[in-house]
Amino acid sequence: MKKVHFSEWGIESPKYWGILAILGVFVAIAGAAVFYMEHEGHWVTGMTNQIVWGMPHVFAIFLIVAASGALNVASIGSVFEKKLYKPLGRLSGLLAITLLMGGLAVLVLDLGKPDRLLVAMTHYNFKSIFAWNIFLYTGFMVIVAVYLWFMMDRRMTAYYKPAGVTAFVWRIILTTGTGSIFGFLVARQGYDAAIYAPMFVIMSFAYGLAIYILVLLFVSKLDGREVGDKVLYRMKNLLGVFAASVFYFTLVLHIATLYATENHEYEAFILLNGGIYTFLFWFGWIFLGCLLPMALVYHPTIGRTRGGIIAAAVSVILGGFATVYVIVIGGQAFPMAMFPGKTIVASGFFDGVNGQPFLYSPTLAETALGIGGVALVLLLTFIAIRVLQFLPTSLADEAVDPHHAKS
């Protein structure tokens, strides 16, 4: 194994600025959307007093979950001492920070009072997992930044591993906190399950790695860096394991929920007759998010092609969005069971009359905000890799594989 060198992203200026400009347009559109929503109020969104969290939350939660997962690649190198992963650590830490920034930006800009962010920073109710998350998220950025510094600064090598362990433990707590946002909601049948916390952790592994693979292949392709099969196959196999784990957790969640009779109607809503939510569950969450990527990465021929691996990563991401949509929106669309044994036949304010789910159709503005969050992630990432040495000059097999000489 040769010594690993790092360098800035060296694509030609016009291409670089062109990419930034395209992403900048999406960010600007999102900015305009925020201005519009905050100026007019949330009536211009599809969100209502029944579906209180909408498209921005789907994007924000996906990005925040993916952020902690993106750090995994670095953790495997530093915490679990896998040499092959060490050169991948810098980009992993960077993506963890930028994904979190993008997700938080979307979340904060959707608040009814985003101008009161300072209030959220000065008034805390520590029984709220949201209040804890404020510390978990900001702490995560600081810890990963320090971790990156120790990773990149030769003088700090001695502290590199403790920083890596701290970041790893922190990220597990962070995603547990994000999953607990739903796990702790006792009122709604779709939530109120402790399994949401570990399931979010495993979801983060899958989404974070899928995004990492795609970003790595994209930036390497553009400035001609080699990404060897050894590194890529290792990551795609891991992606398959993560997709399978999400599948397992999904099975346990639904089987456990189905066991209780009180939940049969909710389960029927998600699994059988919930319209868009049923479709997104089976086609998005299960097929795109779990089964297809597993089939692709473990296929003896397709799994060894770049196209197959890219398709698997894209599939995990699309499936991930569907998963978060089903959890966030589907969980709210199913009417709350306030009167067991009775049917609400009339209501002065939308109580799910005759068991009808609540309607939600996202508007352009709120969707643009979410997409802007994704663009912001990429924008920040591309700027960072352009100015600092995040990318290994080569990830070719002979450069990264400790056993290459022997084989």
Partner 1 sequence: MSKSNDSGRRDFLKKAVVASSVTVAPGVILHTLQAQAEPRTTPVTDKVRWGMLIDTSKCAEGCKDCVEACNKENGLDLVDKPEGASEELWERQRPHWIRQVKLKDNMTGMLTNLVMMCQHCEHPPCVDVCPTGASFKRVDGIVMVDRHICIGCRYCMMACPYKARSFIHADVAAKLTHTPRGKGCVESCNFCVHRLDNGQTTTACQDACKHQAIVFGDLKDPESPVSKALKKYPSVQIRADLKLNTGVRYTNI
Enumerate binding residues for partner 1 (CB under 8 A).
38, 40-43, 46-50, 52-53, 111-114, 116-117, 119-120, 123-125, 127-131, 133-134, 181, 184-188, 332, 336, 338-339, 341-351, 358-359
Beta strand 6-7 pairing with 391-392: antiparallel
Query: H-helix or E-strand containing 7?
Result: strand 6-7
Residue indicated by tokens 């993560």: 242
List the end-to-end C-alpha distance of the chain, in Å, as a whole number. 12
Tell me the HSE value of 23 on the side-chain side, using a 13 A CA sphere: 18
- What whole-number distance in Å separates Cα of residue 208 and Cα of residue 66? 4
Nearer to partner 1, 19 or 324 (CB): 324
Nearer to partner 1, 140 or 147 (CB): 140
Nearer to partner 1, 13 or 49 (CB): 49
3-class secondary structure, 392: strand
Least distance (Å) from partner 1 to the CB of residue 178? 13
Nearer to partner 1, 229 or 351 (CB): 351
3-class secondary structure, 391: strand
- What whole-number distance in Å separates Cα of residue 76 and Cα of residue 88? 10
Nearer to partner 1, 7 or 48 (CB): 48
Least distance (Å) from partner 1 to the CB of residue 137? 12
Least distance (Å) from partner 1 to the CB of residue 174? 16
The CA-based dihedral angle spanning residues 308, 314, 319, 321, taken in that order and rounded to the nearest 10 degrees: 180
Least distance (Å) from partner 1 to the CB of residue 113? 4
- Across the chain, which distance is largest between two alpha carbons, in Å? 75
Nearer to partner 1, 41 or 307 (CB): 41
Nearer to partner 1, 5 or 264 (CB): 264
Nearer to partner 1, 50 or 389 (CB): 50
Least distance (Å) from partner 1 to the CB of residue 119? 5
Least distance (Å) from partner 1 to the CB of residue 195? 18
Using only C-alpha atoms, the chain has a radius of gyration, in whole angstroms, of: 22
Least distance (Å) from partner 1 to the CB of residue 161? 34
What CA–CA distances, in Å, run from 256 to 193, 289, 328?
A: 9, 21, 19
CB-based contact 135:126 (threshold 8 Å): no
Least distance (Å) from partner 1 to the CB of residue 130? 4
Nearer to partner 1, 192 or 229 (CB): 192
Q: Which residues pair with 391 in a beta bridge?
A: 7
- What whole-number distance in Å separates Cα of residue 45 and Cα of residue 123? 28
Nearer to partner 1, 113 or 154 (CB): 113
Task: Report DSSP letters for 25-72, one per residue.
Answer: HHHHHHHHHHHHHHHH-GGGSS--SSS-S-HHHHHHHHHHHHHHHHTH
* CA-based nearest residue to 216, from 2, 68, 78, 73: 73
3-class secondary structure, 224: coil
Least distance (Å) from partner 1 to the CB of residue 50? 6
CB-based contact 268:310 (threshold 8 Å): no
- What whole-number distance in Å separates Cα of residue 347 and Cα of residue 244? 43
Least distance (Å) from partner 1 to the CB of residue 194? 16
Least distance (Å) from partner 1 to the CB of residue 263? 13
Nearer to partner 1, 147 or 184 (CB): 184
Q: ∠ CA 233-234-236 to the nearest 5 degrees?
A: 60
